[in-house]
Amino acid sequence: MADLGYIALALAFIITLYGLAVSLLGGYRGDEVLITSARNALYVVAGLVAISTIALWYLFITNDFSIEFVASHSERSLPTFYRFSAMWGGQDGSLLFWLFILAIYSTVFMVVEWRRQVRRRPYMIATLLAVHLFFLAVVLFAANPFERLWVLADGSTQAALFRPEGASLFIPADGMGLSPLLQNYWMVIHPVFLYLGYVGLTLPMAYAVSGLVSGELDNRWSKDVRVWNLIPWMFLTIGIIMGSQWAYIELGWGGFWAWDPVENASFIPWLTATAFLHSIMLQHQRGMLKVWNVSLAFISFWLVVIGTFITRSGIIDSVHAFALSNVGPMFLSFIILSFALFMYLLWQRLPQLQSDSELDSMLSRESAFLYVNVLFIVAAFVTLFGTVFPIISEALTSTKIAVSAPYFNKVDGPIFLGILVLMGIGPLLGWRRSSSDMLRKSLLPPLAMALLVVAILIMLVTRHWLPLLGWGLSALVLGTILWEFFRGAQARRRSTGEAWPLALLRVMARNQRRYGGYLVHLGVVMITVAIVGATSFQSNLKTSIRLNETVELAGYSFTYTGLEQEKFSNHDAAIANVLVKKGDTVIGTLRPRMNFYTAVSGRDMGPTTEVGLRTNLHEDVYVVFNGWEQDGNLGAFEIFINPLMLWMWIGGLVMVGGTLFAVWPMPRAATRRVRATAVAQPAS
């Protein structure tokens, strides 16, 4: 199977070269035969990459430890579903998995767009195949997961594709095991969604580049490309939320986001992709921001590659990052070359990318979209700067200086507050221009709601300005969303006589993109409420507790009632039992644990922690077990009370639901305007 996987990759590389050449030649000549051949080559490459990926999974499932990558990231006692996810537990397999997702996306993309994009399609194929070619080159020549282990004449072992002279095949009795941090159910699914988001941003880039090459730069692409950006944006959102949940429950530090370089590597392109979703609407509505949109489509993909370079080259330390490797120079070369080619194409087409109209007023929906775009881009690049600052400092001073969470909070915090302000005001503005009187009337209900919420918070919760500002702006956005839903349903009810619930559902169905966007904004409000609550009002206690003794924190009491030990297939667990009460009410027993992994090879792999967690809409009770002494009669714990954390995960679900609502095809019957054939019932 290893030979099959390698041969499939080698054939895919050769066919990619062929497809890239004939797609460009076919586009230049207008030869449909060559263009069709290039498309078929893309499909064949996708099939070969799938064969290679399945081969590697088979090697994991069957415990073929003669393969260096399998031996380094698996073991016989590893549960089957972790053997499946071990593919992205190391660099070589994760890059192959990236290529596999790209192959799937490219196939679906060309099936859908083949007949719709006659002029663009040869260059879409060429762009996709160029990205395939790069990743195939990386996997084949720098990070090949099919290398075997060989025993050399001097008794040492070496990983190589082909047998070195005088060497014999080495098959370890067992593997070294998967990193304990990855042996968590979130790590089975979180990377999949992250890759679906990362890799999917190749498609808007292919749209933009093919338009620059073909010269087809009218506004039609603004409608077609939106869904190809929205789908990976949704997956990337899911991946980021899942990653936050993993960090929250697995790392045992009481938080959900640390501004780690790998976290930032996913967040930065999410910011630019979000900006693109907003700015592409301006091109669709008014023919504006053409250069901006083409650039954003490329930059989102480019930042994905930069993030991959940061995390896989080993040049920046991270709890998530891969070890130092030789893929870094290849990624850096691709980053520079792709940027230079894009800038050349953009420069050539600048005369054709002039806006059809200009900004009529600074007080308009167009201006709000423009402001929010600027803020998203600024947030992306100040975050990127903070992430790569260790590289910059080392180059200038020979000392690697890392910036931490305070930098990101100080520079990104005000930017995100500004985005909240625009989320609250922007939907109330009209296209082209709005009068100050119209804005004042539209803004009055949301603003009144925000002021009421702030007044209640001052009386009942806090007088600190920062949480009041965060929650007050969240209330403003929520008020705007509710006001927009009310106004839309009221207008339909007046014209059709429908009941309120039916009018609301049908006005939403007729304006999916608009109301789907409002639902996404609602999810952002929930996440903001959770972040403000958890960061501003977290309670924390680090202590040791004797058996059957009690400590108190934030109105809760915690009693350590004993230590248990359990043995699993590939690790041992020490589990502390902690009885939790609030006043005289028993909340339950939490069971935080420490897991100890020692692979058969003898490599020390542990311990890791898994928190004890009790959650509700109000707050999380979060207990970390850090060790014990005196045969379990004394336990070390860290306890957190995190207000409103559940709203973060609910907000993520609402964002995904809003995205699905915006793109899901509605039946015609659901969107048809119903004529009022019957007289509306009079109010009683």
CB 576 within 8 A of CB 591: yes
* CA angle in degrees (0–180, nearest 5) for 597-600-601: 105
Q: What is the pLDDT of residue 684?
A: 32
Cis peptide before 390 (omega within 30 of 0): no
Is the CB of residue 23 less than 8 Å from the CB of residue 34? yes
**Tokens 């058996």, residue located:** 547
Query: pLDDT tens digit string along 426-463?
Result: 999 888 877 788 888 889 999 999 999 999 999 999 99
Amino acid at 624: V
pLDDT recorded at residue 322: 47
CB atoms within 10 A of CB 492: 22
How far from the centroid of its chain's Cα atoms is residue 373's Cα?
A: 19
**Residue recorded with tokens 């095809």:** 665
What value does the mean pLDDT of the chain take? 88
Gap between the Cα atoms of 54 and 59, Å rounded: 9
DSSP secondary structure of 84-122: HHGGGGSHHHHHHHHHHHHHHHHHHHHHHHTTT-TTTHH
- Which value, to the nearest 10 degrees, does the dihedral of the CA atoms of residues 116, 119, 122, 124 take? -60
pLDDT attached to residue 598: 72
Q: pLDDT, tens digit, for every residue of 170-229?
A: 888 888 888 888 888 888 888 899 999 999 999 999 999 999 999 888 888 888 899 999
The b-or-e profile of 42-60 (16+ CB within 10 A means b, else e) is bbbbbbbbbbbbebbbebb
Q: Per-10-residue mean pLDDT for the chain, 684 residues long?
A: 92 97 94 94 96 94 90 86 86 92 96 90 96 95 90 82 83 83 84 94 95 88 90 95 90 86 91 94 85 94 91 60 66 94 94 80 85 95 90 78 86 94 91 81 93 95 94 96 93 87 90 93 97 94 94 95 89 93 93 82 67 94 93 93 96 95 73 42 38
Determine the pLDDT at residue 140.
Answer: 94
**Which of 92, 63, 89, 55 has the alpha carbon at shortest distance from 172?**
63
Helix runs in 201-289, H state only: 202-214, 220-250, 261-286
pTM score: 0.91
Looking at residue 669, its pLDDT comes to: 52
Q: What angle do CA 172, 176, 178 make, to 5 degrees?
A: 140
Q: What angle do CA 156, 158, 163 make, to 5 degrees?
A: 110
Q: What's the pLDDT score for residue 334?
A: 94
Closest-CA residue to 160 (of 69, 267, 63, 268)? 69
Q: CA–CA separation, 67 vs 52, rounded Å?
A: 14
Question: What is the residue type of 24?
Answer: L
Q: What is the pLDDT of residue 325?
A: 59
Note the pLDDT of residue 682.
40
Three-state SS sequence of 10-28? HHHHHHHHHHHHHHHHHHH
| Integer Cα distance of 234 and 198 in angstroms | 11
| 424 close to 524: Cβ distance less than 8 angstroms | no
